[in-house]
Chains A and B, each alone.
Chain A
Amino acid sequence: MTDALLPAEFADLEPWAATWCLPTEPQRWERRLNTSMEEMRAFYDAFFPRAEEAIIWCDRFPLDDMPADAERLLQLLHSLLMVSYAVEVWKQPEVINGGSARIDRILEPRP
Chain B
Amino acid sequence: MGRFRKPAEGTWTEHYPELGTGPISFEDSVSPEFYELERDAIFRRAWLYAGRAEQLPRNGSYFTVNLPGLRTSVIVTRDKEGQVRAFHNVCRHRGNKLLWEGTPRDAISGNARQFVCKYHGWRYGLDGACTYIHQENEFFGLRKDAIGLAPIHCDTWAGFIFVNLSAVPDQTLRDYLGTMVGALEGYPFDRMTERYSFRAENNSNWKVFIDAFQEYYHVPPLHTHQLGPTPEAQNPEYEFEAAHYQLDGPHRMVSTSGTHKHTWPAEHLYPAEALTRSGSTGPWEAPDVGGPLPGVNPSGIKRWGIDNFQVFPNLEILIYERNWYVTYRYWPTSHNTHVFEGDLYFVPARNARERLAHEYAALTFKEYGLQDCGTLDGTQMGLEQGAFTEFPLNDQEILVRHFHKTVGAWVDAYVREWERGSTP
Q: Which residues of A pack against B, CB within 8 Å? A: 25, 48, 51-52, 55, 58-59, 61-63, 74, 77-78, 80-82, 84-85, 88-90, 95-109, 111
Contact = CB atoms under 8 A, between A and B. Distances in A.
A96 B225 contact: yes
A111 B358 CA distance: 12
Contacts of A78: 356, 359
B395 interface: no
Given A59-B353, A103-B369, A105-B366, A88 B196 contact: no
Nearest to A111: B355
Interface in B380-413: none
Given A88-B229, A89-B367, A101 B355 contact: no
A19 to B, nearest CB: 19
Interface stretch (B7-15, B142-150, B198-206): B198-206
Interface string B343-373: 0000011111101101110110011011101
A98 B371 contact: yes
Contacts of A101: 200, 202, 370, 373-374, 376-377
Nearest to B269: A88
B270 A88 contact: yes
A85 B273 CA distance: 10
B307 to A, nearest CB: 23
A111 B354 CA distance: 12
A92 B206 CA distance: 30
Given A63-B349, A81-B356, A105-B198, A98 B373 contact: yes
Size bin of chain B's contact surface = 35 or more
Interface string B309-323: 000000000000000
B271 to A, nearest CB: 6
Interface in B114-129: none
Nearest to B202: A101
B199 A106 contact: yes
B259 interface: no
Nearest to A77: B356
A52 B374 contact: no
B195 interface: yes
B200 A104 contact: yes
17 contacts: A55-B353, A63-B355, A81-B359, A89-B367, A90-B225, A99-B375, A99-B378, A102-B370, A103-B200, A103-B366, A103-B373, A105-B362, A106-B197, A109-B194, A109-B348, A109-B355, A109-B358
A37 to B, nearest CB: 16
B301 interface: no
Contacts of A106: 197-199
B167 interface: no
A100 B377 contact: yes
Contacts of B276: 81
Contacts of A48: 271, 275
Contact of A97 (B198, B229, B271, B375): B375
Contacts of A100: 203, 374, 377
Nearest to A94: B370
Nearest to A55: B353
A52 B274 CA distance: 10
Contacts of B342: 103
B272 A103 contact: no
B286 interface: no
Contacts of A96: 225, 371
Q: Sorted from nearest, which 7 A-B pairs have the closest CB atoms?
A: A99-B374, A101-B373, A58-B352, A107-B197, A84-B272, A98-B370, A101-B374
Contacts of B271: 48, 84, 88
Contacts of A25: 362
B19 interface: no
Nearest to B348: A109
Contact of A108 (B196, B275, B367): B196
A108 B219 CA distance: 27
A64 to B, nearest CB: 10
B275 A51 contact: yes
A89 B225 contact: yes
Contacts of B350: 63
B352 A81 contact: no
A96 to B, nearest CB: 7
Contacts of A107: 195-197
A85 B363 CA distance: 8
Contacts of B293: none
Contacts of A55: 275, 352-353, 356
